[in-house]
Amino acid sequence: VDGKITACNTGAVVVSSSSLPTGAATSALQLREQTTSTIFSGTQVIAGSSSHTFTTTLDKNGSTKFNLLLISTTSAGDIEYTIEVDASDDNSIFYTDANGGGMASPTSVSQIQNAQLSIIDQTARYVRFSILNNSLVSLTITSIKATTINGI
């Protein structure tokens, strides 16, 4: 073939048949699918200087990154909390900062009603979110959702 083809107009190529199976990709473009899981929906009130833990199984579908969205009805000016994310493969032993396996350093959230955090390099099946309310007033959480992006 070398030296035999001097020009090729790819815009004029028409494929009349293909050996690709039905539904196969016709390009190298890999679209990323987002999956959102509701971890909590309702009303969880965390008193001032208290904490609450949410444990969930996330079907990350091969993803190692997810975004966490916490929605609160507490006045933004009164919001002051810390969130710690721990992981586990079997839902019994969680890797935490205390035992050297915490997923991320505790993250402080201040004066944000709808806080979004990105968690990366997460491969475990189970995730535990501990929220410590550092404020003197109660923190009301109404929703926690996790969105994974497949392929990342």
pLDDT tens-digit map of 5-21: 555 566 655 656 656 56
Closest CA to 135 of 80, 70, 76, 77: 80
**pLDDT for the residue 68:** 84
Question: Is residue 67's pLDDT more than 70?
Answer: yes
pLDDT tens-digit map of 49-64: 999 998 776 655 556 6
Question: Is residue 43's pLDDT more than 90?
Answer: yes
**pLDDT for the residue 117:** 83
Query: Cβ(56)–Cβ(127) under 8 Å?
Result: yes
pLDDT tens-digit map of 94-150: 776 555 555 556 788 888 888 888 877 666 777 788 899 999 999 999 998 888 766
Q: What is the pTM of this model?
A: 0.67
Beta strands in the chain, from DSSP E residues, in sequence order: 34-46, 51-57, 66-72, 80-88, 107-110, 114-119, 126-133, 139-149
Find where tokens 């996330």 sit.
58
- What is the SS3 assignment for 11? helix
Closest CA to 91 of 40, 58, 126: 126
* CB burial readout 104-132, b (16+ within 10 A) else e: beeeebeeebebebebeebebebbbbbbb
Q: How far apart are CA 129 and CA 36, in angstroms?
A: 16
Work out the mean pLDDT of the chain and round it to a whole number. 75
Q: Mean pLDDT throughout 80-98?
A: 77
